[in-house]
């Protein structure tokens, strides 16, 4: 694939917002993690105390050294689940840090390649034959973010005219003017006479209470 159609990233680059080592804390599995790399390194082990120790490492480099020191304790199913844990970490971080999500979305449709020369699982390897799993994770998360931010079409019910608040809306000046005019006309209207009420004049004396 041509270089201009790809984006290269190093998992250990603390300056890159889409790197696993980028210092963007997030909460996952009832704990606060300094970086995505801290989380993935800790999840290699089932011992809660060791996980906590890795989580407390001052930086990703120290976390890597600590995990390497205990490599014999790595869980037996790690190779089968490590991609899942990395995906969870990156996606959760993007939800917690809009700048991280934005940086990932700005890669567009370009292929993302982890540029490690020695890691043939997470990276592309020296000869480009590596699995590039970290790059694949980033592209998976990028697609998830696009789906999550897609605007769904408005339903027909939401487009219907809403009259629920019309009674509370202020009346227009024209309507107020018309109402005031009618009120003034009603005030000037003469009192109804006996003729208007249909009462014979000869019987008007019975209505005289003076």
Q: Shortest CA distance to 4 belongs to which of 98, 160, 86, 111?
A: 111
DSSP string, 115-163: --SS-TTTS--TTS-S--HHHHHHHHHHHHHHHHHPPPPPPHHHHSPP-
**Spatial CA neighbour of 63 closest among 27, 33, 94:** 33
pLDDT at 3: 52
Q: How confident is the model over 139-191, as pLDDT tens digits?
A: 999 999 999 887 534 433 333 333 333 333 333 333 343 444 444 444 444 44
Residue 78 token pair: 């790690």
- Taking CB atoms within 8 Å and a gap of at least 24, the contacts of 115-119 are 115/8, 115/9, 115/10, 116/10, 116/11, 119/11
Comparing 84-98, 102-116, 155-169, which segment has the lowest mean pLDDT?
155-169
pLDDT in the model for residue 159? 39
For the chain, the average pLDDT equals 80
Answer positive or negative: Cα dihedral of 107, 83, 34, 62.
negative
Q: Which CATH number fits domain 3-149: 3.30.1490.270, 1.10.357.40, 1.25.40.20, 1.20.1250.20?
A: 1.10.357.40
**Residue 84 contacts residue 135 (beta carbons within 8 Å):** no
Give 199 or 67, the one with higher predicted confidence.
67
Tell whether pTM > 0.85.
no
Decide if 104 contacts 94 (C-beta within 8 A): yes
pLDDT at 150: 76
pLDDT at 135: 98
The answer on pLDDT for 47 being more than 60 is yes
Confidence grade of residue 9 (pLDDT, cut at 50, 70, 90): very high
Average of per-residue pLDDT across 113-117: 97
């Amino acid at each position: 694939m041509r270089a201009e159609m790809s984006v290269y990233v190093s998992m250990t680059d603390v300056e890159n917002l889409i790197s696993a080592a980028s210092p963007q804390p997030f909460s996952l599995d009832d704990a606060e993690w300094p970086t995505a790399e801290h989380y993935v390194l800790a999840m290699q082990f089932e011992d809660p105390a060791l996980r906590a120790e890795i989580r407390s490492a001052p930086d990703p480099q120290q976390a890597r050294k600590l995990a390497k020191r205990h490599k014999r304790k790595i869980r037996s199913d790690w190779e089968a689940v490590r991609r899942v844990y990395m995906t969870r970490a990156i996606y959760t971080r993007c939800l917690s840090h809009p700048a991280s999500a934005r940086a990932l979305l700005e890669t567009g449709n370009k292929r993302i390649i982890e540029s490690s020369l020695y890691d043939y699982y997470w990276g592309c390897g020296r000869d480009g034959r590596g699995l590039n799993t970290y790059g694949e994770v980033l592209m998976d998360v990028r697609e998830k973010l696009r789906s999550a931010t897609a605007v769904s079409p408005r339903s027909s019910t939401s487009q219907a005219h809403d009259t629920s608040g019309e009674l509370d809306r202020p009346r227009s000046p024209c309507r107020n003017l018309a109402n005031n005019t009618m009120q003034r006309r009603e005030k000037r209207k003469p009192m109804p006479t006996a003729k208007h009420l249909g009462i014979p004049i000869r019987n008007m004396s019975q209505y005289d209470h003076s």
